[in-house]
Amino acid sequence: MAAAGTAVAALVSAAPATSAAASARHTADARTTLAAPDISVANVKAHLAQLQSIATANGGNRAHGRPGYKASLDYIKGKLDAAGYTTTVQQFTSGGATGYNLIADWPGGDANNVVFSGAHLDSVTAGPGINDNGSGSAGILETALTVARQGAKPTKHLRFAWWGAEERGMVGSTYYINNLPSSERAKIDGYLNFDMIGSPNPGYFVYDDDAGIESVFKAFFSAKGVPTEIETEGDGRSDHAPFKNKGIPVGGLFSGADYIKTAAQAQKWGGTSGQAFDRCYHRSCDTSGNIDDTALDRNSDAIAYAVWTLGGA
């Protein structure tokens, strides 16, 4: 997740409201979904182990413009290509270095109704970025691979993306949406963002930008008996912001960064009050040991639930 800043605030200051019609459409989809699969947290953690190994072999990070980022992208692209996705690597420039977005489309589904899930793949230069944001990247990767393993035939078109240079101010996702023709933007029913889903002292936060998408995530956690709160710490600080700025309905999940867990939050979620949700946020200690398995498991399952629900899989 990108650090807060005036440039970020400006990006979303005039974001148009999402339409009531879009919210109603998402809510209706939620009532007709088939059962979503349970995502293997062991598989998600295996992807995180690969990202950790890549960082270790490339100077300790996976940051924009560094070799660890491109190696991370190549790892994910290889998995998706083998699973039957149509993948596209989009190049852009930031800070004098080449950046890359990876877009993956699952064949089939109504191309005029796209359900889009994304996560940023880059880390900060200080560390390997396993929670921020290996966790979201691995969660949507395993969801995409599960779609393929099950041979899913969703009624809507499924698209996944791994964004570059988010830590520089959502550069990759902004480049993508700014260069997408308005006719193609209009086909996106909703964009789902997953940035930090395995924080070691986790909370369970749901974006409230679109009521319909929000209701899908809340329904999942309610069925599991897990209370949620509205996500505010990451407002305007991750890759949903450029989509929202174009009037696209957005939603997502977040397990907390450097805000402090309150006593009331510790009572309902467990963990330690008076400590940050992620004490290793943007630090060298954001390694494979900086993950809460339960949060990672629940949030990965919630990703699949939303994809199956909104995509009509």
Q: List, by residue number, the catalytic residues.
A: 166
Q: How far apart are CA 207 and CA 189, in angstroms?
A: 16
Contact 300, 285 (CB under 8 A): no
Residue showing tokens 């993950």: 291
Nearest alpha carbon to residue 283 among 141, 78, 129: 129
Q: How far is CA 138 from CA 196, 200, 205, in A?
A: 10, 16, 19
Cross-strand pairs, 123: 63
In degrees rounded to 5, what are phi and psi of residue 104? -130, 125
Give dist(CA 273, CA 285) in Å, integer: 20
Please spell the DSSP secondary structure of 82-142, one letter per residue: HHT-EEEEEEEEETTEEEEEEEEE-S-SEEEEEEEEEEE--B-TTS--IIIIIIHHHHHHH
Cα separation, 126 vs 283, whole angstroms: 5
- Tell me how far apart the alpha carbons of residues 276 and 202 are, in angstroms, rounded to a whole number: 9
Q: Is the dihedral of CA 53, 59, 63, 66 positive or negative?
A: negative
Tally of CB atoms within 10 A around 118:
31
